[in-house]
Amino acid sequence: MTNEALEFRSDNCGRAAPEILEALINCNSGNALGYGGDSLTTELHTRMSALFEQSVRVFPIPTGTGANALALAATTTPFSAVYCSPESHINTSECNAAGFFGSGLKVTALSGQFGKLDPSSLQQAIATAGKGQAHKSQPAAINIVQATDLGAVYTCAEVTQLGAVAKNNGLVLHMDGARFANAVAHLGCSPAELTWKAGVDILSFGVTKNGGLLTDAIVVFNDEIANNIGFHLRRAGTIWSKMRFASAQILAYVKDDLWLRLARQSNGAATILANAIAKIEGARIIAPVEANEVFLSMRAAALDQLAERGVLFYRRGPELARLVCRWDTTEQELQQLILLIQQAAEHAKS
């Protein structure tokens, strides 16, 4: 609603895609049994199973935090350790949700490059964790973020390597796909190739950041895991009674590749931005721009000026800014931002 400021804080500042709002209008006729007993929720399973090329179970859930925490709780014990990147959302930004849903499970961060887990560090950590020793948190699950919290995208081969570590050690592989669409759009692979074919057991399927309103989803590739999830969701107060209005959003989201079109728009905006920055002296991109996030390093004074001139962004350090493009970021916004970055770089030089 702000018009003058340039919004680059998060993709969740953006609008809902009109197609998704329209789906809400369209599904508002007649009665429908609550809690997922409606026909749209049934259709959702069929549609998502087609999309993922195998029979999957889909659970709409209000937020990505809920999806992550519940996916981990449903696949671990209270004495478990979950491995993740230090930058991962579950480790930095979910206010102990994993520990809450998981009855005290432990989140264990392992350093890697650009928010990725490294298969050999992971294997090493699991091997020395003390499996079977009662004193030790027991290795149970691996959490990877796709695209990562530093804007990079795991290739299918990289996920497959981590999937192999998971399987060899009896762990579950969970993918936090808050920006799953951005990753698929970037790689040009199929959703199946990036998930269950690579060893992913359970996926937080992001919708909100990429044009949705009020729902994300958990997608489960393993029936044994799925059977108890309904109880976990219910006791967490995350099953809507008027579920049709959530299912309708997700159906519209995947219809006619809308999700990939929207993701290509935000990815494309980030690429334009990154390419422009690459040419600016005094500005530097410090992480791969493979999705819709740009990590920009500039002198503190330059970032200060950017902020003063109305660019909205989060600072990740005195000389580090995160800039996020939305599906609805305009060409004009990009050009204004690039100009302001040039001026800020110029200013900080002097």
Nearest 10 degrees: Cα torsion 180, 66, 242, 251: 10
CB of 99 to a second copy, least distance (A): 3
Residues 260-299: x where in contact with a second copy by CB under 8 A, - otherwise, as a string: ----------------------------------------
Cβ nearer to a second copy, comparing 93 with 275: 93
Residues 4-43: x where in contact with a second copy by CB under 8 A, - otherwise, as a string: ---x-xx-xxxxx-x--x--xx--xxxxxxxx--xx----
> Which residue in 213, 276, 301, 307 binds a second copy (CB under 8 A)?
213
Strand order in the sheet with 216-220: 57-61, 216-220, 202-205, 172-177, 138-145, 80-84, 106-109
Cβ nearer to a second copy, comparing 3 with 332: 3
Instruction: Indicate whether 238 belongs to the interface with a second copy (CB under 8 A).
Output: yes
Are the beta carbons of 158 and 193 closer than 8 angstroms? Answer: no
> How far from the centroid of its chain's Cα atoms is residue 132's Cα?
32
CB of 280 to a second copy, least distance (A): 25
> Which residue in 110, 125, 214, 320 binds a second copy (CB under 8 A)?
214
Considering only 151-159, 166-174, 236-244, 269-277, which stretch makes contact with a second copy by CB under 8 A?
Answer: 236-244
Instruction: Indicate whether 90 belongs to the interface with a second copy (CB under 8 A).
Output: no
Instruction: Indicate whether 219 belongs to the interface with a second copy (CB under 8 A).
Output: no
27's enclosing H/E stretch is none
Are the beta carbons of 70 and 233 closer than 8 angstroms? Answer: yes
Cβ nearer to a second copy, comparing 7 with 118: 7
SS3 per residue for 120-143? HHHHHHHHCCCCCCCCCCEEEEEE
CB of 70 to a second copy, least distance (A): 7
Could you tell me the sign of the dihedral formed by the alpha carbons of 62, 64, 69, 70, in that order?
Answer: positive
Instruction: Indicate whether 107 belongs to the interface with a second copy (CB under 8 A).
Output: yes
Are the beta carbons of 270 and 338 closer than 8 angstroms? Answer: no
CB of 162 to a second copy, least distance (A): 23
Residues 129-148 that bind a second copy (CB under 8 A): 134-138
Q: Other C-beta atoms within 10 Å of 250: how many?
A: 25
Instruction: Indicate whether 330 belongs to the interface with a second copy (CB under 8 A).
Output: no
Of the candidates 344, 292, 343, which has an alpha carbon nearest to the alpha carbon of residue 13?
292
Instruction: Indicate whether 307 belongs to the interface with a second copy (CB under 8 A).
Output: no
Instruction: Indicate whether 230 belongs to the interface with a second copy (CB under 8 A).
Output: yes
Cβ nearer to a second copy, comparing 95 with 157: 95
Residues 110-129 that bind a second copy (CB under 8 A): none
As beta bridge partners, residue 61 has 216
CB of 203 to a second copy, least distance (A): 16
Name the 3-class secondary structure at 329: coil
Instruction: Indicate whether 241 belongs to the interface with a second copy (CB under 8 A).
Output: yes
Peptide bond into 147 cis (omega under 30): yes
